[in-house]
Chains A and B, each alone.
Chain A
């Protein structure tokens, strides 16, 4: 067993546990998009970043295992700034059809945008994107149509923010 401190709370978890899992055990929710219990952690969404005393940078809590005596912070101003910055990038390449979207109200992306306090996308929506079929008067080569061939789900590439997690799990 390993004992560490997360946001001032001391917690003991089995060796090999990720910081994210340990945080959840301590009742602390770390923002996340790509991590799920169904797959190995992948570390691509960069929302679950944390700061560890004595270590440089901001490691992802989903791919970083706990260590004895570790002192983890999950809610510093620096982390909030980077998480909001990452979320702003996500939303800058996402359709703005929340009100008519089937996932409205049951959407991780929406939840996380709220969780990190994203109010404004300063990049605008005129840049390169996977959202619009036609762009700047021409065909948008990044865009692909919805796949509705399956009776149980619709696959809309424009809304896929977890491509890598899906592929890695397969």
Chain B
């Protein structure tokens, strides 16, 4: 019997040498005459163990990692093909604590299936949501999504069902579904992982959105920094098209829906939905004033649903298992699951999908295993470069949109970056301003000029120049940017700056240079 060995083709695994491992494995297997197929799967999300390879056995899948190309011969000597023990053997994949304690709804197939096998996708419950959707009236699909409590996973947390209903109710000869895959936040990789590991779930989610709102065309706007995701998505759309999953007749129904993959050009601000729409239209990516809402007047002035990858990829399971199933997970007004991305100075870096409601401390200490450096955790930045820094004192905050807002933070796209006690929070605050200055689209004044002044004021504080006056000025500037900016780039940059100032005031009182020299 042919044995299936899985070597991830996920960009994180590739960055850690998965391609070399796959090549070594392929030639060794051939040289030894082992009857084996190498499947290039997505990542399971245990990034500190990548490249993590797996072999299918009668007892289930057995994992090995982190594997180097030079380990391949010894792995085969030990009996990799039959799942035998080895120094790198991690045991049954499903039993790995990091995986076992997760609730994988959106990422149910990621890392398990061959990303480009539609047969594999179907065999793992794929397309059931779309099959159900084609039998329903658009308003019923929208009602399902509304009932599930799904909120925008891009960061704003706007109820997806309400957005869809607005587009459904807005008359228009043409409507569009736009998938925001411009995942620019530092420390986030959930969109990339799903596009590389289970692209059909996104295609299915977009097709359901199309049927629900009357849109017949979808665009996936992927950042240029994701070449592997772009390649996988492009191939997956072709495969789905040939198989009739999308096209003039979605699964043989009267609904037409096509998908086109578009590549960004490297601007962070194009992850802001209206700038993204401008970019898609071939214009410079600058933010539009709202209203009009994209749901009324979006891409090419047509009613447009613009959703994050994870929002759309969560729809198929909602349609398949029903809104109540999904809604039963979570807490408060945050329903369902959220793929938490643990990065930075954490011991266990990777993707952890769980129902809303874990505390930040559980995520950082228990799941993330503390810092990789072994030093104490000083702060974690939650929600990307525009998210607030949380000190240990706030680790009892539950992972929930409202709970984070109540602590002057945001969960954003659920990326968590861990810092140990060597981090200088004044430098981090300066970095936030510098990031905003580089990435600003330049349209509005608080963001365009404010971010540059923010860097300068932070530098003055660091140099001990009128520190009290400049701290006050930085706080005032944050107020101007927060309330005066046109979009979340300038509007949210104050989150990391003010949180750093409030929670780590000592870092904003550096020892004056003269004193330090003594």
Contacts and interface: CB of A to CB of B under 8 A. Distances in A.
A90 B449 contact: yes
Which residue among A57, A86, A93 has the maximum number of chain B CB atoms within 10 Å of its CB? A86
A58 B446 CA distance: 13
Given A43-B444, A93-B449, A63 B480 contact: no
Interface in A66-100: 78, 81-82, 85-86, 88-90, 92-93
B457 A58 contact: no
Interface of A: 41-46, 49, 57-58, 60, 63-65, 78, 81-82, 85-86, 88-90, 92-93, 122-123, 127-128, 164
25 contacts: A44-B444, A45-B444, A46-B444, A49-B483, A49-B484, A57-B483, A58-B483, A63-B290, A65-B291, A81-B480, A82-B483, A85-B476, A85-B479, A85-B484, A86-B445, A89-B445, A89-B449, A89-B450, A89-B453, A89-B480, A93-B449, A122-B473, A127-B456, A128-B452, A164-B442
B31 interface: no
Nearest to B472: A122
Contacts of B286: 164
B480 A86 contact: yes
A4 to B, nearest CB: 15
Contacts of B289: 41-43, 60, 63-64
Which of A44, A60, A65 has the most chain B CB atoms closer than 10 A to its own CB?
A44
Interface string B275-308: 0000000000010011100000000000000000
Contacts of A46: 444-446, 484-486
B449 A92 contact: yes
In the complex, which of the residues B291, B444, B445, B476 has the most CB atoms of chain A within 10 Å of its own CB atom? Answer: B445
A166 to B, nearest CB: 13
- Interface bracket on B: 20 to 34
A163 to B, nearest CB: 8
Of all A-B residue pairs in the complex, the 5 with the closest CB atoms, nearest first, are A85-B480, A63-B289, A43-B289, A89-B449, A127-B456
B446 A86 contact: yes
Contacts of B486: 43-44, 46, 60
Nearest to B442: A164
Given A45-B445, A46-B444, A86 B291 contact: no
Contacts of B291: 63-65
Nearest to A62: B289
B469 A122 contact: yes
B324 to A, nearest CB: 31
B443 interface: yes
A42 B444 CA distance: 10
Nearest to A130: B449
A82 B484 CA distance: 6
A47 to B, nearest CB: 8
B14 interface: no
A42 B445 CA distance: 13
A123 B445 contact: no
A128 B442 CA distance: 15
B11 to A, nearest CB: 35
A58 B484 contact: yes
Contacts of B449: 89-90, 92-93
Contacts of B456: 123, 127-128
B239 interface: no
A31 to B, nearest CB: 12
Contacts of B453: 89, 92, 123, 127
A43 B292 CA distance: 13
